[in-house]
Amino acid sequence: MNKIIKIAHRDFIATVKTKTFLFALLITPILVGGILFLSTRLQKNTFSGPRPDKKVAIICPLVELSDELDVIFKNHNDNHSERKVLNKIYLTDNENTENPAETLKSEVRDGTLDACLIVEGDVLTGNGRVNLYTKNITDFEFFGTVRNLFTEAVFNCRYRQNNLSPELIAKLRRHVPMERIDLNAETGKKKNEIVMLMVPFFFLFLMFFGIVATNQGLLMSVIEEKNSRVIEILLSAVTPFQLMAGKILGQSAVGLTIVGIYGLTAYITAAARGMGYLLNAEIVIYFITYYILGFLLISSIFAAIGAACNTINEAKSLMTPLMMFFILPMVAWFYIAQKPDDIFPVVMSFIPPMTPIVMILRLAVRPDLPVWQIAGSIVLLVVSIPVVMWAASKVFRTGILMYGKQPGLKELLRWVRSN
């Protein structure tokens, strides 16, 4: 045990004393914060900031609807002077009127127009259809604006046809302000919805970064020492298992240092802004539990991969399937945060490589998850760790002193089965 602690201490000091580690420790939160700030600003500018005027041509066979469209678009432009949608209507109410559809489509293609909206049939009675031709199909905000304005015009025409006042309908359907409030027993404060949504993402990111990023350092450390033959000197004093265990313990200390600094910084920042209630002892205990168990599980696999490979490129081919287990929760985080009790997140919670990340995300959203799910996921990790570490130690023991061709899957399985 003393040798394992010495190796762990050596790996920990060798990692945290490097300028690269200190630089990454400082630059990562800055980059993440910058990305979040930039994405928020860009989203705000996309949906509410000023933009160049948009031009849309409308071909409509209905006089009543054409007149209403003119009024609706004018009211919109009067109320949104920095986000105007300039419209020009072509009325095709009889067979002698020339249909300029192809000409307008060409103008959309060459950029003269932003869109061309063509009404076919009597949309007021539901016996027609509407097509919007545009060159930039990903401009969802512009498409949504045109669709809403056109829909409003159709509704107003239908109201009048049924002797209903559009003004009275609008008055009856006027917006009722409603605010979601999550009551806190201790503070009784209202909670910002965006902040509450970002809390689960923060725990997800912290778990992902603490486990995956730190273990990549473990992987590179094993490969580097293997190629420099330092590993041979170390193995003259310790067993392969002691070496692997020491490296895992040392890197786990590095990971705890990183997440501890980030977590403490986040809490101090939140407390300074009056949001210290977002973090409680229960979620911290869950995080530490799942982090330690998840790190021990994943680090064993990374250490085995590092021992079996001679270069980073070789390791990437073995890591790719494993990384998919970490990427999936990151991709599906919003869905999991919205529906933590759905069958998909529950199943993911019991797939060991994903268990720590998925469970901490679900617990951050809903701390009162069923006890059997929390206990079951912890038991699953506790049972999986010795099995994975046993298999990893077999691969580590054989591969750490082997050079040359990268072993295949069959070769790795043979190492695991060997005595």
What phi and psi values does residue 62 have, to the nearest 5 degrees?
A: -110, 120
Report how far residue 138's alpha carbon sits from residue 140's, in angstroms, rounded to the nearest whole number: 5
Q: Considering the chain, what percentage of its residues have pLDDT values greater than 90?
A: 19
Closest listed residue to residue 198, CA positions, set 61, 52, 33, 372:
33
The lowest-confidence range among 101-115, 317-331, 398-412 is 398-412
* Range of lowest pLDDT (93-102, 204-213, 243-252, 326-335): 93-102
Q: With a cut of 50, say whether residue 356 has pLDDT above it.
A: yes
Going 182 to 184 to 190 to 195, the CA torsion angle's sign is: negative
Place 337 in a pLDDT band, splitting at 50, 70 and 90.
confident
Q: What is the pLDDT of residue 194?
A: 64
Q: Which residues contact 270 (CB under 8 A, 6 or more apart)?
A: 276, 278, 279
Q: Does residue 374 surpass a pLDDT of 50? A: yes
**pLDDT beyond 50 at 365:** yes
What pLDDT, on a 0 to 100 scale, did the predictor assign at position 73? 92
Tokens 């990384």 identify what position?
323
Cα separation, 195 vs 190, whole angstroms: 11
Q: Is the pLDDT of residue 411 over 80?
A: no
pLDDT in tens, 174-208: 888 877 666 544 444 555 566 667 778 888 888 88
pLDDT exceeds 70 at position 272: yes
pLDDT category at 358 given cuts 50, 70, 90 is very high
Query: What are the phi and psi torsion angles at 207 (to 5°)?
Result: -65, -45
For residue 1, pLDDT over 60 is answered with: yes
Dihedral of CA atoms 366, 372, 374, 380 in degrees, nearest 10, equals -150
- Sequence-ordered alpha helix ranges (H) in 273-350: 281-308, 312-331, 333-338, 343-348
Cβ(354)–Cβ(328) below 8 Å:
yes
Identity of the highest mean pLDDT range in 217-226, 306-315, 324-333, 402-411? 324-333
What gap in Å lies between CA 148 and CA 130, rounded to an integer? 13
Q: How far is CA 408 from the centre of its chain?
A: 33
Region 146-169 average pLDDT = 89
Average pLDDT over residues 132-136: 88
pLDDT band (50, 70, 90) for residue 56: very high
Strand order in the sheet with 127-134: 85-91, 54-60, 115-122, 127-134
Q: What is the pLDDT of residue 188?
A: 47
Please give the pLDDT value at position 97.
Answer: 57
On the question of pLDDT at 48 being above 70, the answer is no
Sorted by where each starts, the structural domains of the chain and their CATH numbers stand as: 52-172 (3.40.190.10), 189-417 (no CATH)
Position 151 confidence tier, pLDDT thresholds 50, 70, 90:
very high
pLDDT digits (tens, 9 = 90+) for 92-105: 865 555 678 888 99
Q: What are phi and psi of 186, to 5 degrees?
A: -85, -40
pLDDT at 47: 61
Q: What is the mean pLDDT of the chain?
A: 81
Confidence at residue 350, expressed as pLDDT on a 0 to 100 scale: 93
Mean pLDDT lowest among 123-132, 179-188, 285-294, 386-395: 179-188
Q: How far is 203 from 340, CA to CA, in rounded Å?
A: 15
Residues in the chain: 419
> Mean pLDDT lowest for which of 159-173, 230-244, 370-384?
230-244
Taking Cα atoms as reference points, which of 76, 186, 65 lies closest to residue 125? 65
pLDDT reading at 216 higher than 90: no
pLDDT value for 377:
94
pLDDT, average across residues 376-383: 93
Q: Say whether pLDDT at 297 is over 70.
A: yes
Task: Work out the pLDDT band at 347, boundaries 50, 70, 90.
Answer: very high
Q: Which residues touch 196 (CB under 8 Å, ≥6 apart)?
A: 182, 278
Among the listed residues 137, 79, 74, 84, the one whose alpha carbon sits nearest the alpha carbon of residue 108: 137
Structure tokens at 372: 């059997």
The better pLDDT of the pair 295, 26 is held by: 295
Average pLDDT for 342-349: 92
Calculate the dihedral angle through the C-alpha atoms of 366, 370, 373, 376, rounding to the nearest 10 degrees. 130
What is the model's pLDDT at position 239? 78
Q: Check pLDDT > 80 for residue 326.
A: yes
